[in-house]
Amino acid sequence: MCNDCHDEEDYGMPLIGDKMPIFEVKTTHGMMTIPFDYQGKWFVLFSHPGDFTPVCTTEFVAFQKRYKEFKELNCELIGLSIDQVHAHIKWVEWIKDNLDVDIEFPIIADDGTVADTLGIIHPGKGSTTVRAVFIVDPDSTIRAILYYPQELGRNMSEIVRMIRALQISDNNKVSMPADWPNNDLIHDGVIVPPPSDIQTAKKRLEDKTITCKDWWFCHKKL
């Protein structure tokens, strides 16, 4: 299933800044090759402990209800658990029939290979996967990783916020403050990278296009 992965002792689980390993996977939308099928797009690969479980069901409904918002950010979704594809299909049907929500994104039927490679098997829980989130950019680089315990469902607004912030950062070479875009100090402003030499530091406070609390702490509106 994984065509370009190394043994864990040689490679280890992927980290932020690594390329997403290449997987050929069976999904509810047919066979796919990750990350190549999403080349040129952002995507969120998220794992769930198992089909037909209450917290996971609420998460899938929540992801689907934000799916249009993800797509507007040029971002796709793909779920994963160590369940067979027919279980995924039946669960998707149950969600449609009982909750009137049509899950439009694919779900990977993992045999454990993907989960092992990504390091998302829940400790002490057999083959159950943790609630992991991998945010991957159009160059197939992993930009963020989140892990949640079984008892805590994910916050979809935070995942959307992270993708939006990463895209703004890439396009404008800026950083985001805590709780952006609702930061207590600079509100929806963005942080300008600090100067890297003395001369630039001296001129920084004279720059009328930005606001500074000091030469190393400057921000601006986009």
**Which residue in 12, 117, 136 sits closest to 77, CA to CA?**
136
Q: How buried is 40 (Cβ within 10 angstroms: 0-12 exposed, 13-18 middle, 19+ buried)?
A: exposed
Return d(Cα 199, Cα 206) in angstroms, integer.
12
Q: Which of 2, 5, 56, 212 is catalytic?
A: 56
- 56 given a catalytic annotation: yes
Return d(Cα 130, Cα 44) in angstroms, integer.
15
Q: Please, what is the Cα angle at 202 between 197 and 205, to 5 degrees?
A: 125
Let me know: does 191 contact 177? Beta carbons within 8 Å: yes
Catalytic residues: 56
